[in-house]
């Protein structure tokens, strides 16, 4: 009995030592955990010039779910970034106004953890969420609403005007920039800590043995060269470094002026297929192997890809509880929907 206890203790100590070594290896690769403390998290995601408050978050949530921000009154932010579907829409190319598919065949990226991205949009043209939120609302193939229409719709609803005053003060100008930045404040709260974060933060048993093995394979194969930081992605990186992406002809997207493309976050990746900028690959295992070829110039075997996918499952995080909001009623002054 005493011998068994000693052996068990030695095995436990050994597992902690191995876990510590793996954590150190992960951190050296540039990957970071979502902070455990709310204070530390806020120092990363908050803006002192426009701080997060419960009033702004609740108002931003209503606007996020409100289809009246679209020309047709049918499309909300949640249409393409569905919080019940991993923050994406589950289709290859986003569908917008007049049932129009994205003209560049671009896939909707997840909104979860987007506050940790260094760049927004596939070409990185926006540096932060407040600027990003302005794009889809105005874009013809998306929500198709001019700034003036959005302002008229929101300001025609007294309950919205009152909520803006409560959130920002009586002298607030409820303009397009304020409306979209309030949506962004809500989006900042869509953070999903996972078992992987628990592991990096010191819980050696948060990952299974198979997940630890997959994590080790992930690092050894070089995946963290692009998928790093808190988001395990979200930075601009050169694409097709070693080989041609086999579905490069789907859509006409070529990245920014320098051919750089925003690296997708791997957080909740099992929930956000199909994959790549054009949503051309539906299998996560296939996506891993394609990245090995295209970006790293290596062959990732079926076994190795399976190990990596096992690890990627540990990145599925705990979603914040979202109660679907009851939206304030339109008035006689609210501009009617248009389908042109």
Q: Are 117 and 231 in contact (CB under 8 A)?
A: yes
Q: Which of 145, 172, 188 is the last residue of a domain?
A: 188
Residues 249, 269 within the same domain: yes
Same domain, yes or no, for 71 and 184?
yes
pLDDT at 324: 96
pLDDT above 50 (res 203): yes
* Whether 210 and 168 share a structural domain: no
Q: Give a yes or no: residue 331 inside a domain.
A: no
Same domain, 167 and 215: no
Beta bridge partners of 100: 96
**Residue 207 is assigned to a structural domain of this protein:** yes
Based on the domain organization, do 218 and 298 belong to the same domain?
Answer: yes
The pLDDT confidence band at residue 19, using thresholds 50, 70 and 90, is: confident
The yes-or-no verdict on residue 273 having pLDDT over 50 is yes
Residue 277 phi, psi (nearest 5): -60, -30
* Residue 326 belongs to some domain of the structure: no
Measured CA angle at 124 (ends 315, 287), to 5 deg: 40
Contacts 24+ apart (CB under 8 A), 332-339: 333/156, 334/68, 334/152, 334/153, 334/156, 334/157, 335/149, 335/152, 335/153, 335/156, 337/71, 337/72, 337/73, 337/74, 338/71, 338/72, 339/71, 339/72, 339/98
On whether 291 is known to bind a ligand per the annotation, the reply is: yes
Is 265 within the bounds of a domain?
A: yes
Last residue of a domain, one of 137, 170, 188: 188
Averaged pLDDT, 52-69: 98
- Is 260 a member of any domain? yes
119, 236 Cβ separation under 8 angstroms: yes
Please check whether residues 213 and 176 belong to one and the same domain: no
- What does the pLDDT look like over 158-181, one tens digit per residue? 999 999 999 999 999 999 999 999
Q: Which of 308, 259, 316 lies closest to 288 in space, CA to CA?
A: 308
- The reply to whether 150 and 246 lie within a common domain is no
Per-residue pLDDT band for 3 (boundaries 50, 70, 90) equals low
Query: Is 143 annotated in some ligand binding site?
Result: no
CA-to-CA distance for 272 and 285, rounded, in angstroms? 13
As annotated, the active-site residues are: 142
Query: Total structural domains in the chain?
Result: 2
- Do 158 and 199 have their domain in common? no
Q: Are residues 167 and 240 in the same domain?
A: no
CATH number for the domain harbouring residue 50: 1.10.760.10
In the numeric block, which tokens belong to residue 7? Answer: 């052996």
Contact criterion met (CB below 8 Å) for 220 and 29: no
77 annotated among ligand-binding-site residues:
yes
Token couple for 220: 């050894």
Higher pLDDT, 190 or 17: 190
Domain assignment present for residue 10? The answer is no
| Domain annotation covers residue 17 | no
- Do 269 and 304 reside in the same domain of the chain? yes
- How far apart CA 241 and CA 290 sit, in angstroms, is 12
Q: Which of 188, 215, 243 is the last residue of a domain?
A: 188
Residue 181 tokens read as 């930045």
Does residue 109 sit in the same domain as residue 157? yes
Supply 89's token pair: 């829409």
The CA distance from 310 to 243, in Å, is 26
In three-state secondary structure terms, 21 is helix
* Residue 291 included in any domain: yes
pLDDT digits (tens, 9 = 90+) for 63-85: 999 999 999 999 999 999 999 99
| Measured distance between the N- and C-terminal CA atoms of the chain, rounded to whole angstroms | 80
Residues 198 and 181 in one domain: no
Determine the structural domain holding residue 250 and report its residue range. Answer: 31-39+192-315
More reliable by pLDDT, 99 or 16: 99
Determine the pLDDT at residue 45: 97
């Amino acid at each position: 009995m005493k011998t068994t206890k000693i052996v068990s203790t030695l095995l436990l100590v050994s597992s902690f030592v191995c876990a510590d070594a793996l954590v150190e290896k992960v951190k050296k690769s540039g990957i970071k955990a979502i902070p455990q403390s709310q204070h530390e998290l806020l120092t990363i995601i908050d803006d002192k010039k426009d701080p997060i408050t419960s009033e702004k978050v609740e108002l931003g949530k209503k606007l996020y779910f409100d289809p009246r921000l679209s020309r047709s009154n049918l499309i909300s932010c949640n249409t393409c970034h569905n919080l019940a579907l991993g923050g994406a829409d589950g289709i290859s190319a986003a569908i917008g106004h007049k049932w129009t598919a994205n003209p560049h065949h671009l896939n909707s990226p997840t909104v979860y953890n987007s506050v940790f991205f260094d760049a927004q949009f596939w070409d990185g043209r926006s540096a932060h969420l407040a600027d990003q939120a302005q794009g889809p609302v105005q874009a013809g193939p998306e929500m198709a609403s001019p700034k003036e229409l959005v302002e008229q719709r929101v300001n025609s609803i007294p309950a919205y005007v009152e909520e803006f005053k409560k959130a920002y003060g009586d002298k607030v100008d409820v303009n397009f920039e304020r409306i979209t930045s309030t949506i962004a404040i809500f989006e900042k709260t869509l953070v999903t800590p996972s078992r992987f974060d628990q592991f990096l933060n010191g819980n050696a048993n948060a990952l299974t043995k198979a997940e630890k093995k997959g994590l080790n394979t992930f690092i050894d194969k070089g995946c963290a060269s692009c998928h790093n930081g808190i988001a395990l992605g979200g930075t601009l990186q050169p694409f097709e470094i070693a080989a041609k992406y086999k579905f490069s002809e789907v859509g006409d997207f070529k990245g920014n002026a320098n051919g750089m493309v925003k690296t997708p976050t791997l957080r909740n990746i099992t929930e956000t297929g199909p994959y790549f900028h054009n949503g051309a690959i539906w299998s996560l295992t296939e996506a891993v192997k394609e990245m090995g070829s295209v970006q790293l110039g290596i062959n990732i075997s079926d076994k190795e890809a399976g190990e990596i996918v096992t690890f990627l499952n540990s990145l599925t995080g705990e979603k914040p509880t979202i109660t679907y909001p009851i939206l304030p009623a339109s008035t006689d002054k609210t501009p009617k929907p248009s389908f042109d």
